[in-house]
Each structure stands twice: as structure tokens, then as C-alpha cells.
Amino acid sequence: MSLTKNYFEVFNLTIAFEIDINILTKCYQDLQRTVHPDKYANASDQERRLAMQKTTQINEAFQTLKDPLKRGLYLLQLRHIDTNISIMDNNFLMQQIELHEELATFRQQANPLEKLQHFLDRIEQYKKQIINTLNQTFTQQDYDSAHSGVQKLQFFSRLNEEALRLEEELI
């Protein structure tokens, strides 16, 4: 296994947003068994160092490809698309503001945990819709729409984390 391979090549997968997580996981486990540093305990320093580098690459590749947000960002990176540039439409910006305001009100409401759970369910639905759209936009090689979709997924992922932190505070 070469250290210069992209993450999809590491697992012998087609470069695509939609991947089979079960196949990815099996490839990951097979590769880990092959290059795990413990197998190189009696090898030279160079061979042990190379095994550690390969293990690190496999771990990074797996962590990136198993997560839809990280995978989307990585696909854009492979296309040399700057993901730090924001391309949000006004409707989505308004939706962001409204959702943040809604989240801020839960502390003062009766049954905040119940309402927060409904909020988290909605966020999960938004994320699923965006992931489905990303499957299409990446397949169609519509990278402008994919970039926008990945940014939306970033927002909903962060909002989900904020809501989970609030849930911990309320418990």
C-alpha cells in the first residue's frame, strides 16, 4: 500500500460520495490486520516506522470516509475546491438564524427535554435530506451544489452538537 494513495484508493473504492459502509469497514479491518505495527515488532526500525505510517493513513482514511460530512469535504478537496469560501443563499441564512433562536428558547420552556428531542429529530431529518442530495450532486459532478450542500451539512452537524450539549446541561 502506497502512502501517496488517496483515501478511496487505500480501500480500493470508487471515488464517490455514496459508499457502502459495510464494505469500507471490512476493508479497514482487513488492512489493519495486514499492516498493524504489532506484526512488525521484530522488523527493522524503517519497516516499523512504515507500518505505523500506513496504519495512521488507514485510520485517517477510514475516519474520513465513514463520515458523510468529512467524506464530502474530502471529495471537494480532491477537486481542489476551497471549502473555506462560504456560498450560502439568503433563505438558508434565515433558516440558520431561526433554528439558533429556537434552540436558545428551550431552557425557558416547559418540558425542555421533550421539545429538544423533537428538535434533534428534525435536525437529523435535515441531515438525511442533505446527504441524499449530496449523493445526487456528486454523482452529477455538480460541485457548486455539492459545495453548498456540504456547507449546509456542516451547519446542521454543528447545530446537532450544540443541541446535544444543551441536552447534557438540562439532564
Over the stretch 157-170, which tens digit does the pLDDT of each residue have? Answer: 999 999 999 999 98
Residue 120 structural domain: 90-170
Q: What is the largest CA-CA distance in the chain?
A: 64
Distance separating alpha carbons of residues 81 and 75, to the nearest angstrom: 9
CATH of residue 54: 1.10.287.110
**76, part of any domain:** no
Shared domain check, 60 and 101:
no
Q: How confident is the prediction for the chain on average, in pLDDT?
A: 92
In this structure, are 34 and 106 located in the same domain?
Answer: no
First CA to last CA distance, the chain: 47
Count the domains in the chain: 2
pLDDT in tens, 65-77: 999 999 999 999 9
User: Does residue 13 lie in a domain region?
Assistant: yes
pLDDT (0 to 100) of residue 1: 59
Share of the chain above pLDDT 90, in %: 75
The answer as to whether 158 is a domain residue is yes
Q: pTM of the prediction? A: 0.88
- Using an 8 Å Cβ cutoff, are 35 and 58 in contact? yes
Q: Please indicate, yes or no, if residue 80 is contained in any of the structural domains.
A: no
**Which pLDDT score is estimated for 162?**
97
According to the model, what pLDDT value does residue 116 have? Answer: 96
Q: What's the DSSP call for residue 155?
A: H
24 within 8 A of 62, measured Cβ to Cβ: yes
Q: What CATH number does residue 128 fall under?
A: 1.20.1280.20
pLDDT at position 62, please?
Answer: 98
